[in-house]
Each structure stands twice: as structure tokens, then as C-alpha cells.
Amino acid sequence: MNLTMKDEILKRFLLAKDNPISGQFLADDLGISRTAIWKHLQTLQEEGYVFETIKKKGYVLVGKPDKVDPARINSFLTTERFGRNIHYLDEVTSTQSIAHELAREGAVDGTLVIAETQTKGKGRMARPWESTKGKGVWMTIIIRPDVPPSQAPQFTLVAAVAIVNAIKSICKNFMPSIKWPNDILINGRKCTGILTEMLAEMDRVDALLIGIGINANQQQDDFPPDLQTIATSLSIEEKEEINRPQLVATILNYLELYCDQYIREGFKPIKALWEESSGTIGKQIKATTLREVIEGKAIGITENGVLEIQLENGEIKGVYSADIEIM
Ligand code: BTX
């Protein structure tokens, strides 16, 4: 849905920062009565927003709940299409399932599904994805590029580049790296996973559902025991609280830019960006595919996003999809 009247009001307060806004100004700006404005402010207060009244000047927003709600994401967006239509939910089974339904019903390019928590978050190959309530970014973006199904896997790499650059622009105390094809690691621990699913006909993609899970504000003991030693969050590494709506919007800003560039110019510029942030290329790796286990040195990705591995005997093998272990 587009921004509701309540979200429009909230957005104005977010953009005004510490400056007061009068009820009359809002009423004129939005074309509704002052009573209606007052009612929306009441609802916002019930949701945890705190307003201070400044005599003769109006209201200032002085407290916000920590939520990834549409108004707050919107206040950081610079996109044309991505994130302009947001479905925000408190709890879902998986944002991928909701996105599937919306895509089938014709959701527009760039539609975002985002939730505070998932009860059945999905990784690849039916693995579970832990989605701690209110602490991470659990979202799916529906995009509708005019490409054949064979190009779909490249969008996972486009998304990885967008996420890694968004993280780099917000966090300054560490260097994230991409582990082919769909993880982002910090100091060897996973902070992000990407799951790309597709609705397609024989020769063209109908919709791609790019699912993104980012550990943002968990502390180490928020993770279940099996993830304690393999997962981390941006906040643990940055040693600061992460502004989740800003992170979401920054990813969408980069993602629209890179998807458009990919459509215009092909994979080459994305490949260069990907290699710049790769923690896989040049490393000795073990790749487990559905059919075999390949050990060798990761030497690059091809124009199609295929990972090339050089075996000990010099032979080069390309893998389309695999789990990678860096040796
Ligand atoms: P993956 O199969 O590469 O990774 C899944 C594996 O990662 C799990 O088996 C577990 O070992 C580990 N893991 C699970 N949860 C976490 C976590 N929070 N942090 C670090 N490691 C974890 C990666 O799959 C793709 C994940 C996509 C998740 C997004 S969230 C929004 C969207 N909706 C949804 O259901 N999935 C996607």
C-alpha cells in the first residue's frame, strides 16, 4: 500500500527533525481537518511515538518506537520505484510467502514486504532462517525485470553488491565481504543471507522475489546456540545501534540503481563491484554442489555469475550453485 494519511503525517515529523510543526500547517498541507490531524496524532502516540507540544508553534516528535515502518523507511528513500509500495507486518511466517501471493496478484516492480519477525524464515534448500523480533531486517523485494529465466541467479549477485555497499555506507568500524553467492560475512561470521526465488514462464521472468535477511541489532546471546559461533550482527561489529529503516532504504536506493545499471549495461559493471567486495576470489575453497564436492582455488566469476574454480591439475570448473567453505 502507499503511505496512509497517518504515515504522511509521521513522515513530515521525521523530516522536520527537531523543528515544530503546527496542526494548522498539517491540515492545510494534507487537505484534512485539524480534528482529523489530532486523531492521527493520538493513534501515533498509542503506537509509541511521543510528541511534545510547544506553545504557539506546534508539535515536535521526541520519541519513536524502534520499528521498520513505511513512513520511516520512506523518509530515507531516494528511489523512483523500489520501496514506493510497502507491505509492513508485525509477524509473518515468511516474507517470501507473502511476496509470492502479492506477485501472483500483480504487485508492481519494487514492492517491498517487510516484517518485524518471521516464524518460518527460509534459507536456501529449506534451511531455517532465524529472524529475531525487532532486531533484524527481514524483507522481500518483488522486482519485474524483463530478462530470461537464465539470468535470474545474477540478481542475487546484484543484491549482494547493493547490500554490501549499503552496509559500508552506514557502518564504518568493519569491512563486510561477500561469500559467493549469497552470504555477507564480517570477520568470517554470517550477518546476511539472500534467497532469490522466481515466478517465470518458459522464456521470461514474471517476477523475482529477492529475500534479504540481515542481523542488525542482535547481541551475541540473542542468537540460538547453533548460531552462536557462526553468526554476527552489524551492531555487534559496529558497537553501535543500527538505524534499521535507514539501512532498508539505503539497500533499496542501491538496489534500484544497480538493477537499472544491469539492465542498461549488462553484468560487467556489477561483476567489477562484486569482485571489489568479494571474500571468495583468490581463496582455496571447497564447493558442495548437489552432485559433487569440488576443491580448488576460486579464480573469478564469469559474465553469467558462475563461480570458476581451478583444480590442482589446472582444470577450471564452473559452478552455478553450491555451498562454499573457505579453507
Ligand atoms: P542459507 O541456506 O545460505 O543459510 C541458512 C543457514 O544459515 C542456516 O542453516 C543456519 O546455519 C544459518 N542461519 C540461520 N539463520 C541465521 C541468521 N539469522 N544469521 C546467520 N546465520 C543464520 C540464506 O540461506 C538465505 C536467507 C534468506 C532469509 C531472508 S529473510 C527475508 C526472506 N524471507 C525468508 O523467509 N527468507 C528471506
Output the pTM of the full model.
0.90
Residues 179 and 244 in one domain: yes
Residues 199 and 98 in one domain: yes
- Tell me if 138 CB under 6 Å of ligand 1: yes
Q: Residue 93: what pLDDT?
A: 98
Q: Are 163 and 277 in contact (CB under 8 A)?
A: no
Residues 54 and 90 in one domain: no
Q: How far is the CA of 53 from the centre of ligand 1 (A)?
A: 44
- Tell me if 193 CB under 6 Å of ligand 1: yes
Enclosing domain of residue 114 = 70-277
Residues 193 and 306 in one domain: no
Q: Residue 254: what pLDDT?
A: 98
Pick from 28, 46, 63: which residue ends a domain?
63
CATH number of the CATH domain containing 43: 1.10.10.10
CATH number of the CATH domain containing 293: 2.30.30.100
Residues 158 and 262 in one domain: yes
- Tell me if 95 CB under 6 Å of ligand 1: yes
- Tell me if 218 CB under 6 Å of ligand 1: no
Residues 179 and 251 in one domain: yes
Cell numbers found for residue 290: 548437489
Q: How many domains does the chain have?
A: 3
Q: Per-10-residue mean pLDDT for the chain, 327 residues long?
A: 86 93 96 95 91 94 92 95 97 98 98 98 95 97 95 93 98 95 94 97 95 97 95 97 97 98 94 92 93 94 89 94 88
Q: What is d(CA 322, CA 327) in angstroms, rounded to the nearest whole number?
A: 15
Q: Residue 144: what pLDDT?
A: 97
Residues 110 and 53 in one domain: no
Q: How far is the CA of 246 from the centre of ligand 1 (A)?
A: 22
Buried b (16+ CB within 10 A) or exposed e, 171-195: beebebbbbbbbbbbbeebbbbbbb
Residues 30 and 89 in one domain: no
Q: How far is the CA of 77 from the centre of ligand 1 (A)?
A: 26
Q: Annotated binding site for biotin: which residue ranges?
A: 118, 190
Pick from 29, 45, 63: which residue ends a domain?
63
Residues 56 and 136 in one domain: no
Pocket test for ligand 1, best of 93, 122, 129 (most atoms within 8 A of CB): 129
Residues 115 and 50 in one domain: no
Q: Are 21 and 58 in contact (CB under 8 A)?
A: yes
CATH number of the CATH domain containing 141: 3.30.930.10
Q: Residue 2: what pLDDT?
A: 67
Q: Which residue has the cell 551475541?
A: 220
In terms of C-beta distances under 8 Å and separation of at least 24 residues, what long-range contacts does 1-4 make, across chains too?
1/70, 1/85, 1/86, 1/87, 2/84, 2/85, 3/70, 3/71, 3/74
- β-strand partners of 151: none
Q: How far is the CA of 130 from the centre of ligand 1 (A)?
A: 6
